[in-house]
Amino acid sequence: MASYKPIYEFSKLTRIFHWIRAIAIFALIATGFYIAYPFLAPDNFSGEPTGFLYALMRSWHLIFGFLLIAISIFRIYLFVFTKECSFERKSFLDFINPIVWIKILKTYMLLGGHPHMKGAYNPLQLATYMFVMFLIVAICLTGLILHANVYHEGLGGFIAPAMKSLEVVFGGIANVRLWHHILTWAFVIFIPIHIYMASWNATRFPGSGIDTIVSGVKFEKEEQ
């Protein structure tokens, strides 16, 4: 009988931040689409200043937006500086290895087994997650530009000069809004692919996959 050894892959904070970020992204997609197209209206015909569903959705969008920004900043800090994420940083050793790239591509094409990884991610996973982090930074920046154009005091007023410069780079506030919407669709496309690939990896190679982002531990077969 084959024996397996546990490997601590993701720290507690990494796992907590992953799920908070997932909740924030789902909430932002839902509220964002409502802001773009308010397809529901409160059943209120009295003329009283109540039932502002659009304002409520906008408030939740702001709350989860700033939550996503805060979590992403802390997540980058954890990945780059903390000892707990050293196993994740080791993934770069495989990322720069062309032989590992060939092996992992063969794995996904069902032409071979899963190669041994030095870190938490295989090269394709690391490239994907780096791209997703770029998307998060981009959608947060476009969101801050839109925020500064509406709220001229407090944080909005503080970041307005920097956001105005970025607005010019995008070619105007209309283009900022368009890119914010396009980036939202990038997440809509990514999420089901991410869930499928994580499930596929966990099913095909037991001991890794979805369960590691819950428990933080994966299991590898011990060499005899």
Domain that holds residue 177: 10-40+50-218
Distance CA 94, CA 87 (A): 12
Look at residue 108 and tell me if it is in a domain: yes
Look at residue 75 and tell me if it is in a domain: yes
Nearest Cα to Cα of residue 138 among 95, 187, 89, 92: 187
Look at residue 45 and tell me if it is in a domain: no
Instruction: Kindly report, residue by residue over 160-192, the tens digit of the pLDDT.
Output: 999 999 999 999 999 999 999 999 999 999 999
Instruction: Kindly report, residue by residue over 84-137, the tens digit of the pLDDT.
Output: 888 889 999 999 999 999 999 998 888 888 788 888 888 998 999 999 999 999
CATH number for the domain that contains residue 172: 1.20.950.20
Overall number of domains in the chain: 1
- With 0-12 / 13-18 / 19 or more C-beta atoms within 10 angstroms meaning exposed / middle / buried, residue 165 is exposed
Look at residue 96 and tell me if it is in a domain: yes
Look at residue 121 and tell me if it is in a domain: yes
- What burial letters (b/e) apply to 190-224, b meaning 16+ CB within 10 Å? eeeebeeebeebbeeeebbbeebbeebebbeeeee
Look at residue 60 and tell me if it is in a domain: yes
Of 38-52, 64-78, 81-95, 205-219, which range is least confident?
Answer: 38-52
